Amino acid sequence: EVVLTQSPATLSLSPGERATLSCRASQSVSSYLAWYQQKPGQAPRLLIYDASNRATGIPARFSGSGSGTDFTLTISSLEPEDFAVYYCQQRYNWPPITFGQGTRLDIK
Amino acid sequence: EVQVLDSGGGLVQPGGSLRLSCAASGFTFSSYIMSWVRQAPGKGLEWVSAIGGSGDNIFYADSVKGRFTISRDNSKNTLYLQMNSLRVEDTAVYYCAKGQGGTNNWFDSWGQGTLVTVSS
């Protein structure tokens, strides 16, 4: 099973700042990695797939990079609506499909 | 507009059974892999099960294998999850999720979630 480890667990930033979230895989997942955003009481929303492709309707301030075992989600300039929990997910070696434990992005 | 609407959650005793449903619309249901993903209270996301478009390829997480059964009725555009021998640790919000395309397991549409509580 591929274990995904996200860091940091919590990130406290202010609107307008740049956010960098990390996801590390226990073995190579090539570029088969996605990022999701989840707000309280809501279902997750797909942001990035195949490591660097933005999903439909996702603003350009969200970008993804990486391959193999190390991946990054960058939010270039935080908007108030971006404060949420972010999860990475792999589908390279499945079943099982696995998710990281999440990074909470808080307003500072 | 793509929509998936999950339902069927509730309170059940340990050892009991429950069947979840997910009604899909706005896309050619039989062409997409569908999954169930759950989230225990205050915890992260856990993939539970997936089923191919025609219903022939089926996969489970080890935590539910032998207890849960995923199925679909393409004539009704509906996905199901039959949950038997429920345990306290199965308590979670269950989401149905649509794959992005073909055998692609990026989840691009999610239901609103249905809460399953296993408690005596």
pLDDT for the residue numbered A69: 98
Nearest residue on chain A to B38, alpha-carbon basis:
A43
**B103: pLDDT confidence band, cut at 50, 70 and 90?**
confident
Pick from A10, A47, A89, A91 the residue to mutate for testing the B interface (most B CBs within 10 Å): A91
Could you give the dihedral angle defined by the CA atoms of residues B97, A21, A73 and A39, in that order, rounded to the nearest 10 degrees? 40
**Sheet strands (E) in chain B:** 3-7, 10-12, 18-25, 34-39, 45-51, 58-60, 68-73, 78-83, 92-101, 104-110, 114-118
Subunit contact A99:B46, Cβ cutoff 8 A: yes
Question: pLDDT tens digits, residue range B34-70?
Answer: 999 999 999 999 999 999 999 989 999 999 999 999 9
Write out pLDDT tens, residues A68-104: 999 999 999 999 999 999 999 999 989 999 999 999 9
